[in-house]
Structure 1
Amino acid sequence: MKGIILAGGSGTRLYPSTNSVNKHLLAIYDKPMIYYPLSVLMLGGIREIMIISTPEDIGRFEEMLGDGSAFGIQIEYEVQREPKGIPQALTIAEEFIADDKVTLILADNIFFGHGFTTLFRKAIKNHRHATVFGYRVKDPERFGVVDFDHHQKVISIEEKPEHPKSDFAVTGLYIYDQQAVKLAKKLKPSKRGELEITDLNKQYLMRNQLDVELLGRGFTWMDAGTHESLFEATEFIRITQKRQGFKLACIEEIAYYLGYISKQALYEKGKAMEKNDYGQYLLEIADRKYTQQYWDSIEHHPMLGLVQNE
């Protein structure tokens, strides 16, 4: 399974903050926005990842994350010269995907919840053709909407319908089989001049090959694409971390618990940032004396889930 993070776009909804910087490099509380989707892919066990961004910004992502070896993963980079829609990411990454399956995530999407890793890994394991993730919202007309029967079989999927058939929005996380690139190439631009991810999902639905995984009450999904949602996401991360004592989307911590990097490497990363809370957190993890009770708690960590011994 390959992973793609789409971090392109012009970020006009966040002007003037994004006049000179890609929105996915903005901080959500104590870490860059890009850390959140990257952590999702890492927690899903995906180690080969491509980040797609604009010609102006791709170098900044590479400077920040390198080739991924510092986190025990492999990161490649590719340019999206014009924002022509989400499915374009699949065609840009055609050679990278090759004959593999792929998980595509939008770089401004944040997922959180006890058991999310379990759900995501099971979705990858049980994946057949195309899988979307549905999340209940109060204003579904603003999103792509998925409707399904009592057996959770997908009936329809629509983009920003005037009269939604359900209140489950399609999040910015998608799993596709080897057909994805071929189908994406056949899509026609919509009235706004972009390829629509809903149209790609409809192609799978027509073939009876579209599945949906529902994120229930215990989960949080946020799209940090506006000033308001960016603030809400920052406040959510701040409060959650302060009350529960662990950091969300700490990719160094995740890499360590997954066994991708050593305790010494974790310590060195913390030492390099020891003047701030993030670095001190890494040092605390590296210095812990582990007990079986602690490892048992890590197994059910809301952001780590089933990582132990996998």
Structure 2
Amino acid sequence: MKALVLSGGTGSRLRPITHTAAKQLVPVANKPVLFYGIESLVAAGVTDVGIIVGDTAAEIRAAVGDGSRFGARVTYLPQEQPLGLAHAVLIARDWLGDDDFVMYLGDNFVVGGITELVEEFRRSRPDASILLTKVADPSAFGVAELGPEGGVLRLEEKPREPRSDLALVGVYLFTPAVHEAVRAIRPSARGELEITDALQWLVDAGRTVRSTVISGYWKDTGNVTDMLEVNRTVLEALPPAVLGEVDGDSELVGRVRIEAGASVVRSRIVGPAVIGAGSVVRDSYIGPSTSVADGCVISGSEVEFSIVLDDSRIENAGRIEGSLIGRMVRMSGAARAPRAHRLVLGDHSQVQIAP
């Protein structure tokens, strides 16, 4: 069995962060989301991995390499334009050959991994197997309608009037039967080859499409709210450790990880939280569900339920919460009255300011 990992999207919902970084490499708990997916595949015994890449190919290649760090063998498959999930299967045809495969969306996060799903697929080997979960707004996802016995009846991509609240999770398993399906379908109204249409073709052709409804944790980390929620979930299981320096005037409460080379001075950190290698926290408060990446400086500030990326500085900035702070950001308190906000914002930025 092989794995086809999709990492070619533009990440429009995470702008401006993704103007300069691949969305699959935005970290949660100081590790890129994409890495969690690759680790889940390897844990399930799938080590031959093809990664679909687009405009951010160089960045993905630099981060993942040949896959040996994960115990995998990685092949990169260029996709000139993101023309749909089924299009990714189409261009990967030669590499996939006649092998069964897992298709895994590189910005998705499934707590607990996919080992049981892969093992069941290997045992029963339907033509396709999909994961479903109940969501509040199914119109934002691919949606499946199941029959009385749980069989898959109908699938539709982002329907205006969903027939159910069951959304497709970004993990699919296929036999080579799917190749006939992706060749048979036509682009949707939004100009993409939809994997939901390929699955519907299989259903209509009388092929076996099975589904598993999961009640566990799944997130599509394509927006800031979900990124922060995934970060919180992962931090809750992070092993606490003090590998850096914490002075006697500081306090660590709960599940806190201080990486090597980091220093905490006259500060209070309440977990779950992680402070990355080489970072400095001075005269500050770091609250629960916060990840501070490598090489950061936080001084005279409060940060809670947030992600701070590499080499950023937050100094005398008051209280920050529910935020995603990019790489090499400089944030500081204004030195003079009257009280005012002074901002330099990139395209597509979103800011909430208390009056």
Q: Residue in 2 aligned with 1:68?
A: 67
C-alpha contact 2:30 2:276 (8 A) present in aligned 1: no
Pairing 1:36–2:42 present: no
Paired position in structure 2 for 1:47 = 47
Q: Does 1:222 align with 2:219?
A: yes
CA RMSD of aligned residues (A): 2.4
Q: Does 1:168 align with 2:166?
A: yes
Counterpart residue number, 1:285: none
Amino acid at match of 1:29: A
Amino acid of the structure 1 residue aligned with 2:19: N
1:181 counterpart = 2:185: no
Preserved CA contact (<8 Å) 2:181 2:199: no
Whether the aligned pair in 1 keeps the contact of 2:127 and 2:208 (CA below 8 Å) is yes
Equivalents in 2 of 1:278, 1:183: separation in Å? 47
Q: Secondary structure at the match of 2:85?
A: coil
- Residue of structure 1 in register with 2:334 after alignment: none
Q: Name which structure has the greater RCO, CA cutoff 8 Å, separation 6+.
A: 1
Relative to total residues, which structure has the larger strand share, 1 or 2? 2
Deviation at 1:278, TM superposition (A): 10
2:129 corresponds to: 131
Which whole-Å deviations, capped at 9, do the CAs of 1:143-185 have from their partners, x for residues lacking one?
A: 2111223422112112223332222111111111112233213
In the alignment, the residues of structure 2 paired with residue 158 and residue 48 of structure 1 have an alpha-carbon distance, to the nearest angstrom, of 30
1:134-145 → structure 2 map (5 Å cutoff):
134-145=132-143
Distance 2:131 2:217 in 1: 12
Query: For the residues of structure 1 that align with 2:70 and 2:38, how far apart are their CA atoms?
Result: 11
Q: Distance in 1 between matches of 2:13 and 2:70?
A: 32
TM-score by length of 1: 0.73
Of 207, 210, 213, the residue aligned with 2:211 is 213
The equivalent of 1:21 in structure 2 is: 21
The answer to whether the 8 Å contact 2:22/2:60 transfers is no
Aligned counterparts of 2:60 and 2:139: Cα–Cα separation in 1: 33
1:202 equivalenced with 2:200 (yes/no): yes
Q: Distance in 1 between matches of 2:21 and 2:276?
A: 24
Shift of 1:95: 1.4
Structure with more helix by fraction: 1
In the TM superposition, residue 121 of structure 1 has moved relative to its aligned partner by: 2.1
Deviations 1:81-132 (A, max 9, x none): 111111111122111101111110111110014x853234213432220111
Give how far 1:8 is off: 0.7
Query: Contact 1:5–1:50 at 8 Å: present in 2 too?
Result: yes
Runs of 5+ consecutive residues of structure 1 not aligned to the other structure: 247-272, 281-310
Residues 125 and 19 of structure 1: CA distance in aligned 2, closer, same or farther (over 3 Å) = same
1:156 aligns with 2:160: no
Q: CA contact under 8 A between 2:10 and 2:22: conserved in structure 1?
A: yes
Q: Distance in 2 between matches of 1:66 and 1:160?
A: 34
Query: Quick one: which of 183, 189, 192 aligns to 1:191?
Result: 189
In structure 2, what is the equivalent of residue 255 of structure 1?
A: none
CA distance in 2, matches of 1:22, 1:139: 26
SS state at 1:18 partner: helix
Identity %: 30
Measure, in 2, the Cα distance between the counterparts of 1:214 and 1:234: 25
Shift of 1:275: 4.5
The Cα offsets for residues 174-220 of structure 1, whole Å up to 9 and x where unpaired, read as: 11111223321332111111111111111111123243332433x11
Higher alpha-carbon Rg:
2
